[in-house]
Amino acid sequence: MSAGLSAAEEVQTNLILGGVVVSNYLSYLTMGIVLPSTWSYFSKFPADRWWIKAIVILCVSICIEDTIGTGIWTYDWAVANYGNPAVMAILPWALPTEGFLMPTCGLTVQLFYAWRVWMMSMGKNRILPVVIGCLSILGWCVLCWTTQLAATHKSMADIKLALPAGYIWLVGSVGADFVITGSMIYYLDLRFRLMKPEFSSDNSANWFLRRRLRKLIVRTVECNILSLFTQVVSTSTFNRSSVGFYFLIPDMTLAKIYTFSLLVSLNSRQTDSDHETSEGGSSSTGREERGFELTVLHTSSLLSTQVSSPAQRETAGDLRFGGTDAGTGV
């Protein structure tokens, strides 16, 4: 640590540098999760519609730019100017840049989920998508304003000026995630409990455990709970001296969490090969279970929604825009 610092200043500097470095490590970690998921998406669904690919490319590009920017910031503070209070008192350019990239990625994914909620309601529920869209745009506009504020101020002390706007963003963006989460839980879970499907005759405890865990993980990510939790933590820890810059952990990872949620939602669909395999099964009960599991986990217009039974299979063909492939569902 730099010489001439008092014990209190040294502790505070450690909190600042520790928060930045740990946040950057987690930023790279989450980026490492997003990239394989992106590869998996383009490998499994090369025939997806162009606008869905454009959304994925946009969000992944934002994540890459965000990760590079925060990495440069971390290197500048923790390596090139390690423990230099004069440098840490200046607002880094990566902070306002991240303040624009992160909400832009969040807005993109939230609008995608708004569209998805509308499609899962068979086009009947227009109120919730409008609410989600309005709250998402509100949160994006607020963070754009804070980005402009950060870009016109040079001192790190001025970051406190953005605190009131942070609570408005909390109402907007977190409110949108809350509505998305509730809507997805309803359409992916509660709605299908009424169907009372007949499950497979395999009563193996391990089989049921794997199935339930997979549903829980996919549903948790798909329902946007991760991003909702991350934003609440970010706002609740902001401007707390005892936390230091550890509040950056949610900020540096939020864009990647949004993108990962989007990719899980897309990658959860049934591929052509999966569809053919399930069709080739010899057990009608097995086909029923697979069809119901597909419906519960992946219901949206991104797939041809299937509710299989020995006597009936329904598909949401009426929701296809300009033609939908049964394998990719897009």
One-character DSSP codes across 52-103: HHHHHHHHHHHHHHHHHHHHHHHHIIIIITTT-HHHHTBPPTHHHHHHHHHH
Q: Is residue 168 classed as helix, strand or coil in its secondary structure?
A: helix
Question: What percent of the chain clears pLDDT 90, i.e. is strictly above it?
Answer: 24
On whether the CB atoms of residues 161 and 113 are closer than 8 A, the answer is no
All structural domains of the chain with their residue ranges = 7-268, 275-319
Q: Which residue has the higher pLDDT, 284 or 6?
A: 6
How far apart are the C-alpha atoms of 255 and 27, rounded to whole Å? 9
CA–chain centroid gap for 160, Å, is 27
Report the 3 state secondary structure along 89-155.
CECCCHHHHHHHHHHHHHHHHHHHHHHHHHHHCCCCCCHHHHHHHHHHHHHHHHHHHHHHHHHCCCE
Whether 184 has a pLDDT exceeding 70, the answer reads: yes
User: Which pLDDT band holds residue 324 (cuts at 50, 70, 90)?
Assistant: very low
Paired with 90 in beta bridges are: 155
How far apart are the C-alpha atoms of 223 and 34, rounded to whole Å? 17
Q: Looking at the domain 7-268, which fold is it?
A: Rhopdopsin 7-helix transmembrane proteins (1.20.1070)
Q: What is the mean pLDDT of residues 224-245?
A: 73
How far apart are the C-alpha atoms of 274 and 130, rounded to whole Å? 35
- Nearest residue to 233 (alpha-carbon basis) of 315, 166, 286, 150: 166
- Nearest residue to 255 (alpha-carbon basis) of 19, 20, 30: 30
pLDDT, tens digit, 9 for 90 and up, residues 142-152: 888 888 887 78
Between helix 205-222 and helix 175-185 the angle, nearest 10°, is 150
Q: What is the mean pLDDT of residues 185-205?
A: 58
Q: What is the pTM of this model?
A: 0.75
Q: What is the mean pLDDT of the chain?
A: 74
On whether the CB atoms of residues 102 and 251 are closer than 8 A, the answer is yes
54: which 2 tokens? 């454009």
Max mean pLDDT among 106-110, 189-193, 235-239 falls in 106-110
User: Using CA atoms in the order 298, 303, 304, 305, what is the torsion angle rounded to 10 degrees?
Assistant: 20
pLDDT, tens digit, 9 for 90 and up, residues 84-99: 878 888 888 888 888 8
